[in-house]
Structures are given as C-alpha cells and as structure tokens.
Structure 1
Amino acid sequence: MVSAALLSLVAVGCVLAMEALHRAEWPSRGPYTAVITWQALGLAWGVSTIGALLAYGLSTYELGAAAGLLALVTDVVSGELVLTELSRGLEGVSHIAAVVLAIALTLVLFYGLVSSFVHVVRVRRRHHDLLELVASEHPDVPGARVVDHPAAAAYCLPGVLRSQVVISAGALAVLDHRELAAVLAHEHAHLRQRHDLVLLPFSSLKRAFPRVPLIRTYYESVALLIEMCADDQARRTSSSRELAMALLRFGAAGPAPVPAGAMAALEASAQAGVVRRVNRLLRPDTELPYHAGAFIMGGSAFLLASVTCLWHIPV
C-alpha cells in the first residue's frame, strides 16, 4: 500500500505543478524547457495515476504494480482472480474496482492518442489533396503554396512525405517582403521541429476528456509555448520587429480560421496569446539561465525515473 500512497501523492503533485507552471512567468523565457516540463508532468500524471490504482488493486500480491500486473494476468488466465478477491468481501471488491478503473483509464488515454492521430492524418490527407487543386506556386513565396483567398492566412500542414506551407492572397496583400519572410521562417520552424507531434499528446488528452475545462486550458498554454518556440527560430533569420509587425497585421486584417490539422502563425481563436507573443518579440526578457534550465530538465527526468521506480516497489 506504500507504493499506492506514494504514486497518489505524485499524481496530485503533478496536477499542482501543472497549475503552477500554467501561472508562472518563466516559461516565456525558456519555451523549449517549459514544453518538455509540460510533457514530463503530463506523462508522470498518467503513469502515476494508473500505477496508484494498480498498486492498490493488486496489493494482495505484495509485488508492486508492475510485477503484480503480470501476476494478475496469470490469475485471469487460470480463472482464480475473481473468486479469490470476492471471497475477501468489500475489500476484495474495491481491489477489483481499482484494477478495472486503471484499465479503463489506460484505454481512454490510448483511445484519445490513437483517435487524434488517425483524425489528423485523414484531415491532412484531404487538405493536401484539396491544395493540389486550388493552390499554386508563386515567385515571391519560395517554399510555399498560395491560395487565392481574401482573408489573411498563413499555416503549415505537417506530414512525413508532404509537408507544405500555405499563404493566402490576403496575407500577401498585407505583408511586405521582410514580414512575409519572417512568417515563412515561423511556419518552416513548425515543420522542421515537428511541433505537431509535440502537441499531439495534449490534443489527445483534450479529445479524451472534452468536458474538462482544465485540460483545454493547459492545452492552450502548451500551444502558445510552441508558437513561441517557432518565433524564436524565426528570429534567427528575421528581426523580432518584422515578425511582430506581421502578427499585428494578421490581427488587424482578421485572421481566417485555421484548417483542422494545420498549425498557423496566428489562429483566430488565440488572440489573447498574440499580445503576449508581440510583447515578447518587441520587449524580450532575458533568456532563462542555463543552470535554471538544466535544473528544471533534471527535475523532470528525476520525476519520470521516480514514477518508474515506484511501479516496482513490492509493498
């Protein structure tokens, strides 16, 4: 029961840490570190929550969550599990309920991840096919395709074989050449670093628990940090002012809704984050110190290692 209690504490601690991270100011100074921290906390929460349920439900084996799970499979095959636990009365029923809940949570999380991936792949495939019909090359926009649409839009469609950056005619009308180059650099950063895969676990959580506002809030926090990561990459080839002006011009023109499965320089639903991004570009804070980033990354690695060890505590 000790492992169940410790894993429960870790799960609660992860939720508190995510709330603190959501409210903290330092992530904008080190968005890459913050995104990895979000991933570590999310993974640790899922593994520790499932582990706590299993450790309690399988406590009669006195083997821990991992070894107890193997013993559970053996007893299920032999048909001894249900009879043994039910003979223990209410306590045995609670153990069975905990194991069932752990399996159900695992299936829900797995379903969210797989269904999100399949949905995104299908939507992107259809959109790629549509772009072949309506988009065209443009001499002023190398490495991108142009759609004849009056709304200001710039987005990318990630893919293994067919990654594309798309710019609308409305965007070309409001951006000058340097601002356009900054936007293209931003979108290519999304493709090069596969930010869509970084965001996938959080979008799958949002899909698995659509009625939980807190998950949507945390998803938006991670999405904003990913945009900041792309902004930082764009600043290596373009000035911060050019990218900030491009974002402001998109906002003034009224950005078009982003197609499903795409990642945009500016989404119509993320206007609040645009102000933070523009302020960050025009009045940048000092970057997160190296030693602070190393400490946070080390803490994230230690958290995941601790959760793994707690799965094997045989008490």
Structure 2
Amino acid sequence: MTGTALLALVAAGSALGAHRLTHARWTWRTPRTAIVLWQALGLAWGLASIGTLLGFGVAPYGQGVVVGVARFFADPQALSPVRIASVAAGLLFMLLLIAMLLVAIVGVFRARRRHRALLALVAHGDPEMPGTLVLDHPAAAAYCVPGVRSSKVVVSAGTLEILGPYELAAVLDHERAHVRERHDLVLLPFTSLRRIFPQSRMVGRTLDAVELLVEMAADDRARRHRPAKELATALLRFAAARPAPTPAGTLGATGTATADETSPIVVRVRRLLSPAPLPRPLRGAMLAGATLVAVLPLILYAIPA
C-alpha cells in the first residue's frame, strides 16, 4: 500500500474519530487529555488531506510527497493535467487553512484591542479583588481577556450582586485558569476551521465539544484552590441570571440551565460535584496515542508512492 493511500486512510480515520469523539462522554472525565486528542485529530486530518492530494499528483515520480513536490516545481511538465490539478488543489487547500488561521488570529487580536480600550473607559479596579476589573453593568458577566502581557479578568456589577464572596472567588479562579492555560489558543484552530466550513454540522459540533472541554479544564484548575461546591453553585446562579454574551475575543461564563441532562451547565455542575477522573496510566496511553496520530502523516509524507 502506497504512502498516498495510507494518507487517505489517515484523513478518513481522523474524520471518523472526530465524529465519534463529538458523541463521547468519557472525554469529560479527562478534559485536558481529550483536548490534546482533539488537536491531534485536527492536525492529522489537515496534514493527511493535503498529503493525499499532493501524493496523488506526484505519484509518477515514485519518491514520496516531499521529494515529489520538489520535483514538481522543477519539472511540472512531466505530469498529466489531472496530476497537476491534484497538486494545485493540495497546495491551495494548505494555503486556505493557513490563511483562515491567520485571519482568525488577526480578528481575535483586533477584538481584544478594542475591548481593552473600552474597558479602560468603563471599568475600574477593586482593592478587594487585585488584578480584576469591575464593569458597571447590571447584567451578570464574568470573563477574561487573554493576552501575552496584558491579560485581564472582568466581572460586572450584576455578578457581584448575585454571587457570594466564596462563589466569586471560585469564578475568578476559573477565569484565571483560562488565562494561565491559554485556552484561547486552543480554540483558534477550531474557530478558523468553522470559517472554512461555516455550514458543516460536524465542524460546529467539534467546536462545541472543544469549548465544553476547555470550560471543564478551567473548572478542574479552579477546584484545586476552592471547594467544588462553590464553583458549582456559582455556575447555577449565573445560569439562572441569564448572563450576557461574552465579548468577541474573550472567554467567559455563559449558558443557561435547562432540564436537559446534557446541557453544558448541568454537565459541568454534575462532574464538579461527582468527579470521576480516568486513571493516570490510561491518560498517559491516550497522550502517547495522540502523539502518534499527529506525527503519522509526516512520516507518510516520506514513503514513496
């Protein structure tokens, strides 16, 4: 079996794995590991899809994707029009993925810059909450504005009214966890993928799944410093208050509590109160598998057709 055929199998397998993962519930037991697995599947799908198109195009050279593409630029006349079109499609798809990622990054940075400028006008510090800005707004809101050197955690006046001091401390720890672990960077590739396939239900479910895992990872980090009941109670109070949508480029507390047991707020509260983490050896095996999935397409790039 040629490297190109194997790349096609990896691309199909990654898509199938992502589809199955959107319906998985064991991921809630180990959100950080699941996030790594999602990243590995996304990277493998992108590399394998590009490699399949390029590999088919340069197959007559019989020297693999990397060497074949180099020879293509040196002597494209050696290939048939169909092969040339396949190479062009692979290169265009690669450029599209990179371009959409850059567009997403620029868009987020611009939104954050605008929001920081707005916060400088309408928000103020509180000596009882060092490092936190208070927004004079009656709606419940708590979010972070990530950044390399200028990260900010923001709460509204409405939040201060509905949360007690211990619940507020748990929410602030949750938002600081988003900042420390740079969950905004985790989400960027998936938001850029939605720009490319805006009508895809699969991509939408993928983004929803990763966003929930990111929130769970921040919950776990906050639980290290505060009792789980405090954050769980804060989430329910937030949901009952119908919090305002978080501004573009930020991460924050949103969502409403419903009777559906699979609603994000209900799921997060239940796992906070009844944690069931996966055993460490199993998590280690999953990380090793994710690493293999991510690097496999690069290995196949060198296999001759």
Identity, in percent, stands at: 47
Please name the residue that 1:203 is paired with.
Answer: 191
- Once residues 282 and 33 of structure 1 are traced to their aligned partners in structure 2, the CA distance between those partners, rounded to angstroms, is 20
User: Is 1:46 aligned with 2:7?
Assistant: no
Structure 1 residue 278 and structure 2 residue 269: aligned?
A: yes
The one of 278, 287, 291 equivalent to 2:281 is 291
Contact 2:138–2:157 (8 Å) recurs in 1 = yes
1:249 partnered with 2:237: yes
Q: CA–CA distance in 1 between the matches of 2:255 and 2:195?
A: 19
Q: Distance between the aligned counterparts of 1:51 and 1:104, measured in 2?
A: 12
Matched, 1:168 2:162: no
Partners of 2:115 and 2:187 in 1: CA distance: 20
The aligned counterpart of 1:311 is 301
Q: Unmatched 5+ residue regions in structure 2?
A: none
Per the TM alignment, residue 200 of structure 1 is displaced from its structure 2 partner at its CA by 1.0
Letter in 2 for 1:120: V
Aligned to 2:292: 302
Distance 2:33 2:303 in 1: 30
- Using the TM superposition, give the Cα deviation of residue 269 of structure 1 relative to its aligned residue in structure 2, in angstroms: 11
Give the whole-Å Cα distance in 1 for the aligned partners of 2:114 and 2:302: 45
Is residue 31 from structure 1 mapped to residue 31 from structure 2 by the alignment?
yes
The answer to whether the 8 A contact 1:202-1:219 is kept is yes
Per the alignment, residue 177 of structure 1 pairs with 165
- The within-5 A match list for 1:1-315 is 2-75=2-75, 81=76, 83-85=77-79, 92-267=80-255, 272-285=263-276, 287-315=277-305
Q: CA deviation at 1:245?
A: 0.5
Q: Return the TM-score normalized by structure 2.
A: 0.95
Secondary structure of the residue that 1:58 maps to in structure 2? helix
> Deviation at 1:212?
1.4
- Find runs of 4+ consecutive structure 1 residues off by over 6 angstroms: 268-271
Q: What one-letter code is carried by the residue in structure 2 that aligns with 1:311? A: Y
Query: Which residue of 2 is the match for residue 88 of structure 1?
Result: none
Q: More deviation in 134-143 or 221-230? A: 134-143
Encode CA deviations 1:79-114: one digit per residue, 9 max, x unaligned. Answer: xx2x433xxxxxx22212211211121111111100
Report Cα offsets for 1:258-301 as digits up to 9, x if no partner.
Answer: 1000000334699921111011112222x111111111111111
CA distance in 1, matches of 2:254, 2:245: 9
Structure 1 residues 160-207: Cα deviation after superposition (integer angstroms, max 9, x where no partner): 121100000000000000000000000000001111111111111112
Q: What's the offset of the Cα at 1:239?
A: 0.8
Verify the 8 A CA contact 1:186 1:265 in the aligned structure 2. no
Deviation at 1:143, TM superposition (A): 1.8
CA RMSD of aligned residues (A): 1.6
d(CA) in 2 for partners of 1:200, 1:268: 24
- Partner residue of 1:89? none
Aligned residues between the structures: 302
Distance 1:62 1:269 in 2: 58
Give the 3-state SS of the residue equivalent to 1:238 in structure 2: coil
Aligned AA (1:132): A
AA matched with 2:272: L
- Taking the aligned partners of 1:272 and 1:57, their CA distance within structure 2 comes to 46
Q: 185-194 or 260-269, which moves further after superposition?
A: 260-269
- The whole-number CA distance in structure 2 between the counterparts of 1:200 and 1:31 is 17
